[in-house]
Structure 1
Amino acid sequence: MKRVRKMLGRPLVTGALVVAVAGAGLGLYWFQPWKLWQDRTVEEALPEAVATSAPPAATAPSSPAPAPATVAAGDLISHEHATSGTVKLVRLTDGSHVVRLENLDTSNGPDLRVWLTDAPVREGRAGWHVFDDGRHVSLGRLKGNKGSHNYAVPQDIDLARYSSVSIWCDRFDVSFGAAELTGA
């Protein structure tokens, strides 16, 4: 009888250990908890449009070159994680647009994206999951969880259809923070 218990006990313990180690490995991969203690700071200047041709050498004094213009802006509010900073929708001198995050400060996380959305920004838990309910465009991976950076808006996007920006965690379908864009 002891021999039977001994033979059954070892495979069960070994199997339980294998399952526990595999579960811990998958959990670490999925949640990436170390990112909560790692910051990535990115500082980018506002891009400038590239001139297509040089002006003639002997021309009359011209007016100053047009500068990038802020079309809309808003302050980030916290959702799933404490988030602060400013979001600006900027029209560059060549007519293209970028979403600019300035003085961003949020938690790092797995699979964070910058989304341009049509969802209203709501305070607290009510705002965590609304951004994937309607129209949204991913502008790319979040370059850093701190600093100031730019995200190009595709040329074919009708900006009148979008009213907010979210720092979106694609892995867990939750907003880390968001800003309502209002006209400048």
Structure 2
Amino acid sequence: MKVNLLTTATTTVLLMGTLSTCLVQSNAVLANRSDSNTNPQSQLIASNIVLSGMFVTTEQDHPTKGKATIISEGGKNYLQFDSAFDTADGPDVQVILHRNNTVPVNLSEKDYIILAPLKNRRGTQRYEIPNTIKVNDFKSVAIWCREFNVTFGYAAF
């Protein structure tokens, strides 16, 4: 009986030790998983975002959608459109920064600055913002046809 009691006690101690080791290891795995969402690399990318907004259509015949983001990278600012960006076709289409958070169909020259001609009417694209432009002076980005003075859509920041 003493041998059986000693064997049972030893087995219990070994099982408890193994069980506590498993719990410590599983807690470490869970901690690593939650840290992966806040790793320094993802924080670095997120910290580069200066402003962002979703496009809304201004002129119904020229629907515009997608996301616009201003990021800071290497001491420079860039305007990026995401892969969902899509706008209508037109002559002399420009990417502009506008001083207000809403952009009318027809523009007044004092309210905007032309950043660049639109590269593509669909998909991801990037535009460098010259250092002479103070990003905080502008509240939105717009897609605008210079020839007919028609705003297709804008994204407020």
Q: Does the alignment reach a TM-score above 0.5? A: yes
Question: Which amino acid in the other structure matches residue 146 of structure 1?
Answer: R
Equivalent-residue separation in structure 1 for 2:153 and 2:115 (angstroms): 15
Long gaps (5+) in structure 1: 1-62
Q: Normalising by structure 1, what TM-score?
A: 0.57
**1:140 maps onto 2:116 in alignment:** yes
Matched, 1:82 2:70: no
1:128 lines up with 2:97 in the alignment: no
1:104, 1:119 → 2: CA distance?
21
| 1:117 Cα deviation from its structure 2 partner | 1.2
Equivalences, count? 113
Instruction: Note if contact 1:117-1:134 (Cα within 8 Å) is conserved in structure 2.
Output: no
State the TM-score, normalized to the length of structure 2. Answer: 0.66
Which residue pairs with 1:174 in the alignment? Answer: 150
Coordinate RMSD, CA, aligned:
2.0
Write the deviation string for residues 48-74 of structure 1: whole angstroms up to 9, x where unpaired.
Answer: xxxxxxxxxxxxxxx86x547111100
Match of 2:134 in 1: 158
- Tell which structure's C-alpha radius of gyration is larger: 2
Task: Report the secondary structure of 1:134's partner residue.
Answer: helix
Structure 1: distance between partners of 2:155 and 2:109: 16
Q: What is residue 95 of structure 1 aligned with on the other side?
A: 75
Counterpart of 1:69 in structure 2 is: 48
SS across alignment from 2:115: strand
Helix, strand or coil for the counterpart of 2:66?
A: strand
User: Tell me, what secondary structure is at the counterpart of 1:107?
Assistant: coil
What does the per-residue CA deviation read over 1:147-177, in whole Å, with 9 as the maximum and x for residues that have no partner?
0100110111111111100001000011000
Residue 108 of structure 1, CA deviation: 1.0
Report deviation, 1:82: 0.9
For 2:69 and 2:101, how far apart are their aligned partners in 1?
A: 16
Among all aligned residue pairs of Structure 1 and Structure 2, give the percentage whose two residues are the same amino acid: 28
User: How much has 1:133 moved relative to structure 2?
Assistant: 4.7
CA distance in 2 between partners of 1:134 and 1:164 (Å): 14
> Is residue 101–residue 149 contact of structure 1 (8 Å, CA) maintained in 2?
yes
CA distance in 2, matches of 1:120, 1:69: 22
Q: Given the alignment of the two structures, is residue 117 of structure 1 paired with residue 132 of structure 2, yes or no? A: no
Give the CA deviation at 1:112.
0.3
How far is 1:113 from its partner? 0.5
Deviation at 1:135, TM superposition (A): 3.2
Q: Which consecutive aligned stretches of 4+ in structure 1 deviate over 6 angstroms post-superposition? A: none
* Structure 2 SS opposite 1:160: helix
